Chains A and B, each alone.
Chain A
């Protein structure tokens, strides 16, 4: 599916992502890594669950309020078949736990701190993500 390049909406949305993450760091002393917050909420330490669930619940709340207020400008399309969805979900879940972070924890917070581990991890998942899309779309020639 072809999408439209939206640099200003990208910058503004990115700044909001950074702002939410920044506030979590300065106010609560926590890194806004979604995979880490999610993983440790499955097997929480005592007294450590509430803020995690609150943060995770905020994600759909903020997205919902935005589409309510501005309309669904960006659209939404999942084009993968069910088998690919399951494989993708398992890989994203397992991989982000093994690698200690995802696009938010490594890509935003880690790079924002200049952490070498996060720079390397982000380069690695961008590379394999792009390689996967290349193989699926241009070698196998299938819909993603």
Chain B
């Protein structure tokens, strides 16, 4: 049951990316290009998503279990550590180079091309590299 719900959630999420045009790297880069022909759409996407999610987070507050019975545990850390900010900085550079972040990259597998596979392969390699490093030294 959890798997079916997860598939549905992913499909609604992916549909949202396609409806909003965030599946198109050119549109994402146009949002980041404040000095060029700026396309503010991404801000509206994030605004719409945050509003809906904020309502859900309010509903979830104080609950101990999700509808399907799993524990509902939200992250509680509040400190800003170097990994958080350093990782975000690196991610931003890669995002600005190509215009793809993980969600749209995977959603775009609905229209695969050699370029997209190259990016996704590198995305997986970068992800696996960090996971492997963290396994070797759990403090990293």
Q: How large is the interface on B (under 10, 10 to 19, 20 to 34, 35 or more residues)?
A: 35 or more
Select B12's contact among A19, A84, A85, beta carbons within 8 Å.
A19
Query: What's the nearest-Cβ distance from chain B to residue A70, in Å?
Result: 7
Q: Which residues of B1-32 have CB atoms within 8 Å of chain A's CB atoms?
A: 2-27, 29-30, 32
Select A24's contact among B9, B29, B42, B107, beta carbons within 8 Å.
B9
Interface of B is mostly: helix
- With both beta carbons as reference points, the residue of chain A lying nearest to B128 in the complex is identified as A42
For this complex, 16 residue pairs linking A to B, each with C-beta atoms less than 8 Å apart, are A22-B56, A26-B67, A28-B5, A35-B102, A39-B127, A42-B128, A42-B131, A43-B131, A50-B3, A54-B7, A80-B97, A97-B127, A104-B101, A125-B91, A128-B90, A134-B35
Interface residue ranges, B against A (CB under 8 Å) = 2-27, 29-30, 32-37, 39-57, 59-60, 65-68, 70-75, 77-80, 83-103, 105-111, 113, 115-116, 118-131, 134-135
**10 other A-B residue contacts (CB within 8 Å) besides A19-B16, A99-B88, A133-B29:** A9-B20, A20-B13, A38-B102, A62-B107, A90-B125, A95-B94, A112-B56, A124-B89, A128-B93, A138-B36
Interface residue ranges, A against B (CB under 8 Å) = 1-7, 9-32, 34-35, 38-39, 42-43, 50-52, 54-67, 70, 73-80, 82, 84-100, 102-104, 106-117, 120-122, 124-134, 136-138, 144
